[in-house]
Amino acid sequence: MKIAVLAVQGAFAEHIDMLKKLGVEGIEIRKKRDMEQDFSGIILPGGESTVMGKLLKELDLYDTLLEKINSGMPVLGTCAGLILLAKKLSNHGETYFGTLPVTVKRNAYGRQLGSFNTVANVTGVGEIPMTFIRAPYIEEVEEGVEVIATVDDNIVGVKYKNQIGISFHPEVTDCLKLHKYFVENTEL
C-alpha cells in the first residue's frame, strides 16, 4: 500500500518516516506527474498553509488533489494541512480545498503559547502525545463532523467522511498510533 504525502513545503519527510516504520510506502507529491502513481490516501503536512496553498496552484497540483478528496480518497491534514482542508478560516481571507466543513482559526494559541506538548485522547486512537507548533484550532464544526480530540476545551481533531483534520503534529513524536489509525482507515 502507498500513501501520498504533499511534499512542496513543511514537515513531509517526517510523515514519510512514520509511514515507513509502519511498513507503508510514502510517495512524495512534488509535481503533477507524481500523482500518476497508485496510492490509497493523502497526507497534507504541517508547515505554512499560505505557502503550500500558493504552491499547490503554481505547481498545478490543486485540481487533481481536490478531485481525489472529493471522490472519497482518505486524507489526513495535520496543522497547516488542516488549514488547507478547512471550509472556513476565521482569521484569514483565503481558503484552500475547503472540503472539511469546519471553521479553523490560524495561529490560534497566540505568540506566547506558540508551541507546546501535551498528551490527550483521540477517539479511535487512544492517548497520544501531541506537539503543537503555531497551531490552529477548530472553532466550529458543521453537521456530520465528528470531534475526535479536544485539548483545554478547544477542538484539535475532527473526522468527516474520508477526511481527518488535526491541529497538532504526530509526526514529530515517536508515537505511531495516529498514522496507524489513518493507514488502517484507508484500507477499509
> Which residues lie near ligand GLN (CB under 6 A)?
46-49, 79-80, 83, 106-107, 133-134
Active site residue 14: no
Give least dist CB 14 to ligand GLN, A.
Answer: 11
Active site residue 79: yes
Active site residue 169: yes
Positive or negative: CA dihedral 176, 178, 184, 186: negative
Q: Which of 169, 179, 184, 187 is catalytic?
A: 169
Q: SS3 of 20, please?
A: helix
Which of 51/119 has CB closer to ligand GLN?
A: 51
Which of 1/175 has CB closer to ligand GLN?
A: 175
Give least dist CB 1 to ligand GLN, A.
Answer: 26
Which of 28/187 has CB closer to ligand GLN?
A: 28
Which of 71/112 has CB closer to ligand GLN?
A: 112
Determine the Cα–Cα distance for residues 125 and 149; give it in Å rounded to an integer.
10
Q: Which of 79, 94, 146, 184 is catalytic?
A: 79
DSSP notation for 29-56: E-SGGGGGS--S-EEE-SS-HHHHHHHH
Cell of 114: 506558540
Q: Which of 14, 15, 92, 171 is catalytic?
A: 171
Determine the Cα–Cα distance for residues 154 and 132; give it in Å rounded to an integer.
13
Residues annotated catalytic, as ranges: 79, 169, 171
